[in-house]
Homo-oligomer: A and B are copies of this chain.
Amino acid sequence: MSESESTTPTIGVFDSGFGGLTVLRALIDRLPMARFAFLGDTARLPYGSKSRRTIARYAAESAQFLVNEQGAEYLVIACNTASALALDAIQDAVSVPVLGVIEPGARAAAGASRSKDVLVIATDATVQSRAYAAACQALGLRALEKACPLLVPLVEEGWAESSSATGAVTAQVIQIYLAELTAQAAALGLDPDVLVLGCTHYPLLRGMFEAAVPVGVGVIDSAQAVAEAAAQGINGRVTADAGARGLPTEIRCFATDSVEKFERLGSRFLGRPVGKVQLVDLGG
């Protein structure tokens, strides 16, 4: 084993909220020996309704906090809006490698699709950015996108357990959205065989989506896709094998506001306690 394989780099993970904890969770699965610093810019939520210039400034400030103050040597942008509108600005603002969430999702869809027709569901802001459509098109895919605004609040309400009465509501909502989307695809003459979950909240609904998609349609989780791409990017510096040595993963979580909600809901996204979330002030 070379010297470089035994280092434990710090990976910075950024989101406008805490949905990106699903990306952190997928990263930990692949890089259990790394150190992680997660920042949720919760004070300036939602990014989706703000201008590109404002989002770029917020995202650049957040990235600089993770790199300059937390020592991140690699950045994962676990926020669809920031990935869609501010990836260039973030790359200009810091000198470490930066990976957005959209490109890996599109790449995973391209790898999984034989028909080259894919469905993408996301928030209204992400759909309006057309970022997935553009990334898919660049890879030779035809993408049909649909905004599903009810899914984030359903996840945040905790209505994601398929065995409960509340989960039955969420399953019904998913069924309605998918019926609308597949009807639209059929009307356009598309033959989709992949559904991309293009929002960091949606991995909590993955089982429901897998139960609801038509036969022959695979589900791509963009949180898994970006974690896979990040692990390959960091490959050789940390190995999954290192995790087997039994050292605990180091995770530091930061938020610019709403620490209470972050701590209360975050563990559901991360799949383990988020611990104490530190409040940071990035300015107005």
Taking Cβ atoms with an 8 Å cutoff, the residues of A that contact B are: 43, 45, 49, 149-150, 153-154, 156-157, 159, 165-166, 169, 172-173, 176, 257-258
Contact = CB atoms under 8 A, between A and B. Distances in A.
As for how many copies of this chain the complex holds, the number is 2
A107 to B, nearest CB: 31
A30 to B, nearest CB: 33
Contacts of A157: 149-150
Contacts of A149: 153, 156-157
Given A49-B258, A150-B150, A166-B176, 17 more contacts: A43-B49, A45-B49, A49-B257, A149-B153, A149-B156, A149-B157, A150-B153, A150-B154, A150-B157, A150-B159, A153-B153, A165-B176, A169-B169, A169-B172, A169-B173, A169-B176, A172-B172
Overall SS of chain A's interface: helix
A147 to B, nearest CB: 10
Contacts of A176: 165-166, 169
A166 B172 CA distance: 9
20 contacts: A43-B49, A45-B49, A49-B257, A49-B258, A149-B153, A149-B156, A149-B157, A150-B150, A150-B153, A150-B154, A150-B157, A150-B159, A153-B153, A165-B176, A166-B176, A169-B169, A169-B172, A169-B173, A169-B176, A172-B172
